[in-house]
Amino acid sequence: MDITYFLSLLGGLALFLYGMQMMSDGLEDVAGDRMEKILEKLTSNRFLAVAVGAGITAIIQSSSATTVMVVGFVNSGMMTLRQAVWIIMGANIGTTITGQLIALDVGMLAPLFAFLGVAMIVFLKVPKVQHVGKILAGLGVLFIGMDMMGAAMKPLQELDAFVSLMTTFSNPLLGILAGALFTAVIQSSSASVGILQTLATNGLIPFSSAVFVLFGQNIGTCITAVLASIGTNRCAKRTTIIHLMFNLIGTAIFTTLCLTLPITDIVASFTPGKPAAQIANMHTTFNIVTTCILLPFGTMLASLAEKILPDTEAEKANVSILTSLNEEFRRGHTNLGAATIHIDLLRQEIERMISLAGENLERCYQAVLTSDSALEKPIDETEETIDNLNKEISQYISKILVDNNSGQNVTTIEQYFLITGNVERIGDHAVNIGGYMDVIRRKSIVFSDSAKNELVEMQQLTKKAIQKLLNKEEDMTVWLSDIAAMEQQIDDMTKTYRESHLERMRKGLCTEEACVLYSELLTDFERIGDHVLNIGQAFTKIDANA
């Protein structure tokens, strides 16, 4: 085979994969947060859940992306494992739409699609129009890549070694393994099925052998969800087990049927002489039939996943679900898609960070009031966890913004970045307060009863404010108004306590060291209120952007 054909094959493959990614990104940008909101509000009706899973996956053209979202929802507790079963089944049906599009054979229109899409991106500055342009351009580039691959593969028909290799895939086990491995490497069943369609169209692999490769491709697509589950809780990991079981069971059923019944001939008879359409139809049939067979047994699949991965002791508190994903980013091993898929993970970890900051604030006030040295270790450990979370979240956001620098999700992610910084500062002020315990103990400082009462009131109000941040309401305007009222109350209390403090100083009721330390406490208290308000305002902007 001439090197020119080989280079043309690589170029075609690159255009095909890039076009698919471009089209998927454009669809996700158009969809925005709506995909997540539909999943989040999903009822427990299994038929509706299957339909929603299929619909969302058909829109974003990635069962992996849908499954990753589901893993995030299960991990955050917004979706049960049994709800996830139906979504995953639907996602496997929805992912077949790409193969059907390819089977339509609209390659002659590919240059037109690409031109129109690029023109919309370059000449029209309206973001929503540019997103649609990205979809059209991606579709055009995808088909241009397929045509290049097809042209480059034609000489392979005369290469005995390659024909012999394709013939070996008539062995079901080898075909399944080849399909699973290739799909796991490129992390897209839609892309690998498209490449299989190109091989079949050029007569390089018979449909009777292609079906086994196709079944393996359904197994290989599970790798993205497996990667996404790294660092999540055990319930989320069970979601990926269900995804894998679905495709393994489906592969076992269809391999048996193809070896014992003329299933392949029946599917081929629907579109004779059109290998791409035959593969697309088998792909759709595989997922619809497997879903129909397993639909009554969804809860059993969930129970089996729980037995395979039983409950153990809680995972370490200082491990972020973003840590492993950041590592995947650094290695370049993840293609989890646009920002939409990641937003729920960010929200979950940021709310966890807020909760930890609130807990530490409680401990630090208690440390000042009681001088209990036993509180030092948990305060330091929690602060370390907050710092680690801040680092991981910041790295995660930076990577997302680099890879996905368009669409309404960017504003949301930027606000999350601002929230993270404010939470980290609350944690620092908490540590400042806790650090005063050493001074109190070393210098034997004793606060007056009135000062202690004021400290208790500070502790109660900051606790109330943190809880308010974690308990958002339907009407975010009212919620923000309540946050602002608390911040004003903190300012008013600070002013009042400073005046009371000055009065105690005049009467000689406190020592010089106690006066300085209490003044520092008031400063930390006031600034915590400012950061709480900043967080509330950022959350409100996120809601308005949704």
Residue 312, pLDDT score = 56
* DSSP codes joined into one string, 307-366: HHS---SPPPTT--TTHHHHHHHHHT-----STHHHHHHHHHHHHHHHHHHHHHHHHHHH
Residue 76, pLDDT score = 55
Q: Running along the chain, 546 residues long, what does each successive block of 10 average in pLDDT?
A: 72 76 69 57 71 78 69 66 85 80 68 88 84 84 74 64 65 88 74 81 85 90 71 75 91 93 91 89 92 90 87 48 49 44 73 90 88 84 84 77 61 86 91 85 81 89 92 86 93 90 80 81 91 93 79
Q: Which residue has the tokens 């391999």?
A: 255
Residue 335, pLDDT score = 44
H helical segments located in 404-511 = 409-442, 449-470, 476-506
Residue boundaries of the structural domains of the chain: 3-308, 323-333+343-545
Residue 127, pLDDT score = 81
Distances (CA, A) of 447 to 31, 310, 358, 454, 459: 58, 51, 24, 10, 16
The answer to whether residues 61 and 28 touch, using CB atoms and an 8 Å cutoff, is: no
Cβ partners under 8 Å of residue 543, min gap 6: 472, 476
Rg (CA), the chain: 29
Q: 56: part of which helix (H) or strand (E)? A: helix 46-60
What's the rounded Cα separation, in Å, for the pair 514 and 264? 86
The answer to whether residues 418 and 348 touch, using CB atoms and an 8 Å cutoff, is: no
C-alpha closest to that of 80 among 45, 32, 33: 45
Residue 226, pLDDT score = 75
Question: pLDDT tens for residues 77-122?
Answer: 557 777 888 888 988 888 787 777 777 665 567 788 889 988 998 8
The answer to whether residues 310 and 220 touch, using CB atoms and an 8 Å cutoff, is: no
Residue 462, pLDDT score = 92
Residue 370, pLDDT score = 86
Highest CATH level, class, for 323-333+343-545: mainly alpha
Question: pLDDT tens for residues 321-358?
Answer: 555 445 444 444 444 444 455 676 778 888 888 999 99
Q: 285: part of which helix (H) or strand (E)? A: helix 275-294
Distances (CA, A) of 471 to 97, 466, 531, 539: 40, 9, 17, 11
Distances (CA, A) of 321 to 71, 229, 427, 526: 11, 8, 20, 32
The answer to whether residues 128 and 88 touch, using CB atoms and an 8 Å cutoff, is: no
Other beta carbons less than 10 A from residue 409's beta carbon: 23
Helix (H, G, I), strand (E, B) or coil at 95: coil
Residue 461, pLDDT score = 92
